[in-house]
Amino acid sequence: MKEYTEPGTIEVRNDETLYSLLTERIERTGEDTVIASRKTGPGAWADITTGEFHRLVRACAKGFMAFGVRKGDAVTLFSSTRYEWGVLDFALAAIGAVNVPIYDTDSAAQAKRILNDSDVRIAIADDQERFDRLQSVVDDCPKLDHILMLDANALGALEGLGVTVSDEDLDDRIDSVGADDLATIVYTSGSTGAPKGAELTHRNFLSIVRAGFVCMKEMICDGHPRLLLFLPLAHCFARYIQYCSIGSDDGVVGYLPDTRSLLPDLRSFKPTYLLGVPRVFEKVYNAASRKAGMGMKGRLFAKAAEAARDWSRTSQEGRRHTLKQISEHAMYESAVYRTVRGALGPNIKYVACGGAPLNPDLAHFFAGIGLPMIQGYGMTETAAPFTVTRVDDNRIGTVGRCAPGSSVRISDDGEVQVKGANVFRGYHNLPEKTAEAFTEDGWLRTGDLGSLDDDGTLTITGRAKDIIITAGGKNVSPIPMEAAINECPIVEHAVVIGDGRPFIAALITLDPEGLAVWLPAHGLPANMPLDEAAENQTVRDEIQVFVDKANSQVSRAESVRKFVVLPDRFTQDNGCLTPSLKVVRPKVNAVFADVIDDEVYAGKR
């Protein structure tokens, strides 16, 4: 068993809460600094000062108190990522209420389960459509007293009610809340089973936020940082970075509820760093590749991309760049790299990725064009990140080191186990599941497999529940194979299968956006339906190139011997994707069981 503890400590006083991030910023920098921005129209943003934000937080906190929300009561935010979400989150934290977020894509049935499991008293939806989803199940939620809607001026209603609560009463409530009080119940996205409500305290979040100020200082603290936030705030990853931005000295967070105009919004908001899951950055890369096309510009982009990856690998290995590399890099900088960076905004300096495994080739590409890809590893149960790469120690392929004072170890069977102040206190109403989550000596079992360097740098090699054991007894981690196949510009998802079967195979879905550009370039109609494209031999030949590339990296027993291109996509509606866009492997196996049995293995066991 290998174990590492990162030197140093992160201090969180017993009387501090998430609300303290806001009040401490005001104490340091005053009320006039800009803390947030909200979109008011195409290319237009309205800045909100720290003082304005704070006054609205207090007004809403009073409104909740007037509604009868007590310390420890649960309140749900069922909304896209928008400015009001941040305000309400801090208002609930201030008075010791428990924020129970629901993904904006969740169905009425999913929302009902969460509302009842956590005894939610008040729910706030952002628009009419989500309001109606809640309204449709209100009769089945006996504890739910009120549903408010942001688009119907819920904040104004809270402010109006709050005039009956004095500043003194509010301050007394604020003073009654401490670091070890429950701040939120976040329901896991359920990629390996039914969602469970992870109970996270103020201390859990505060410890890892303050660790971020140390470990990612260059990105989230230095140089007037600006963050455009579009990931769902129901996910700990996005919520964590919101706290980092607001808790820094002059960070500005822009809330973007709709990503349909993402590229123009990036240009107008001008972020200095971005947070995304791997799929976001895959789309950025694929969009740049598609824009280059298949002719001379396409060949130029392909060469530039390979040169960027080669530049990054040389840097990672500590070698000097050759004169040829320097010359090519300068040429591609003006011809390609500057344009790709510019698509993310004129001031972009860093990109940060987490939430799912990232293909190292993609990270090398971004690093090679001058955008360091900060990678982290964590889970809902650790309030998002537990380890992170540093700007000055950003080894691609790893997920970095843990926070000062935290520990990580690799068990004898290869599982990553962690211990630290950001580890949750347990699953809501599930004491047996909580007990299963921890070892006898108090370490959190992550369920992930990994390795640990002598300096504490963690590498994730797979997930224990994802390991495939073929009929011949070969253990196969599907993640590296899937990452290689996903590099194909027309593939949206690849899922490697073969548990208990005679050989390894893959289910593949197509990317409609990629097809729309790729098909005409190969003499095929751009509007070819997915089911026809799935059967097209030219399409299959293109995918085979990337399957062969994946197979070249493993032994024959681990290689993909057969693949099926599905006429359907993995979606949240069919249960194959979580709200954070992770593939739900057991659901894929269930939904496409007939395909697996009849087309892949044809009855073979």
What CATH number corresponds to the domain at position 125?
3.40.50.12780
Q: Match 């080894």 to its residue by tokens.
A: 395
Q: What is the pLDDT of residues 268-318, one digit of tens each?
A: 999 999 998 887 888 888 888 888 877 888 899 999 999 999 999 999 999
Task: Give the pLDDT mean for 356-362.
Answer: 84
Q: How many CB atoms lie within 10 A of CB 72?
A: 12
Q: What is the pLDDT of residues 80-96, one digit of tens each?
A: 999 999 999 999 999 99
Contact 429, 197 (CB under 8 A): yes
Model pLDDT, residue 605: 43
Going through 166-325 in order, the beta strands assigned E by DSSP cover 182-187, 197-201, 226-229, 252-255, 273-276
pLDDT at position 604 over 60: no
pLDDT at position 503 over 80: yes
Q: Is residue 207 part of a domain?
A: no
pLDDT at position 469 over 90: no
Q: Is residue 196 part of a domain?
A: no
Q: Is residue 182 part of a domain?
A: no
Instruction: Note whether 77 and 147 are same-domain residues.
Output: yes
Instruction: Note whether 439 and 543 are same-domain residues.
Output: no
Instruction: Note whether 249 and 295 are same-domain residues.
Output: no
Task: Give the pLDDT mean for 93-122.
Answer: 95
Sheet holding 407-410, edge to edge: 2-5, 407-410, 415-419, 444-452, 458-463
Contact 278, 356 (CB under 8 A): yes
Give the chain's mean pLDDT.
93
Q: What is the pLDDT of residues 64-74, one digit of tens each?
A: 999 999 999 99
Task: Give the pLDDT mean for 410-425.
Answer: 96
pLDDT at position 394 over 70: yes
Alpha carbons 334 and 331: distance in angstroms, whole number: 6
Q: Match 């003194």 to its residue by tokens.
A: 168
Q: Is residue 185 part of a domain?
A: no
Residue with the larger pLDDT of the pair 78 and 550: 78
Instruction: Note whether 419 and 486 are same-domain residues.
Output: no
Instruction: Note whether 147 and 267 are same-domain residues.
Output: yes
- 408, 429, 464: which is the final residue of a domain? 464
Q: Quick one: what percent of the chain has pLDDT higher than 90?
A: 78
Domain count of the chain? 3
Alpha carbons 375 and 362: distance in angstroms, whole number: 12
Task: Give the pLDDT mean for 394-402.
Answer: 95
CA-CA distances (angstroms) from residue 195 to 77, 134, 444?
Answer: 17, 19, 18
Model pLDDT, residue 580: 72
* Parent domain of 228: 17-177+224-271
Instruction: Note whether 494 and 506 are same-domain residues.
Output: yes
pLDDT tier for residue 512 given thresholds of 50, 70 and 90: very high
Contacts of 594 by beta carbon, 8 Å cutoff, 6+ apart: none
Instruction: Note whether 529 and 384 are same-domain residues.
Output: no
Alpha carbons 493 and 526: distance in angstroms, whole number: 20
Task: Give the pLDDT mean for 98-113.
Answer: 93
Alpha carbons 123 and 114: distance in angstroms, whole number: 11
End-to-end CA distance of the chain: 36
Alpha carbons 168 and 355: distance in angstroms, whole number: 42
SS3 of 91, please? helix
- Rg of the chain on CA atoms, in Å: 24
Give the pTM. 0.85
- 440, 464, 488: which is the final residue of a domain? 464
Instruction: Note whether 99 and 25 are same-domain residues.
Output: yes
Task: Give the pLDDT mean for 16-45.
Answer: 96
pLDDT at position 514 over 70: yes
- 442, 464, 486: which is the final residue of a domain? 464
pLDDT tier for residue 7 given thresholds of 50, 70 and 90: very high
Model pLDDT, residue 528: 94
Residue 409's closest CA among 432, 372, 442, 380? 442
Task: Give the pLDDT mean for 246-255.
Answer: 97
Alpha carbons 25 and 395: distance in angstroms, whole number: 32
Alpha carbons 441 and 233: distance in angstroms, whole number: 33
Model pLDDT, residue 224: 95
Model pLDDT, residue 585: 85
Task: Give the pLDDT mean for 559-579.
Answer: 90
pLDDT tier for residue 403 given thresholds of 50, 70 and 90: very high
Q: How many CB atoms lie within 10 A of CB 573?
A: 10
Contact 224, 250 (CB under 8 A): yes
Q: Is residue 211 part of a domain?
A: no
Q: Match 């859990």 to its residue by tokens.
A: 204
Q: Is residue 477 part of a domain?
A: yes
Contact 482, 553 (CB under 8 A): no
If you count them, how many residues does the chain have?
Answer: 605
Instruction: Note whether 564 and 499 are same-domain residues.
Output: yes
Model pLDDT, residue 288: 86
Model pLDDT, residue 380: 94
Q: Highest mean pLDDT: which of 93-102, 262-271, 479-488? A: 93-102
91-105, 159-173, 371-385, 553-567: the lowest-pLDDT one: 553-567
Q: What is the pLDDT of residues 172-193, one digit of tens each?
A: 999 999 999 999 999 986 555 5
Q: Is residue 536 part of a domain?
A: yes
Q: Is residue 334 part of a domain?
A: yes
Residue 229's closest CA among 216, 246, 212, 214? 246
Instruction: Note whether 398 and 459 are same-domain residues.
Output: yes
405-414, 432-441, 575-584: the lowest-pLDDT one: 575-584
Instruction: Note whether 421 and 288 are same-domain residues.
Output: yes
Instruction: Note whether 282 and 398 are same-domain residues.
Output: yes
Q: Quick one: what percent of the chain has pLDDT higher than 70?
A: 99
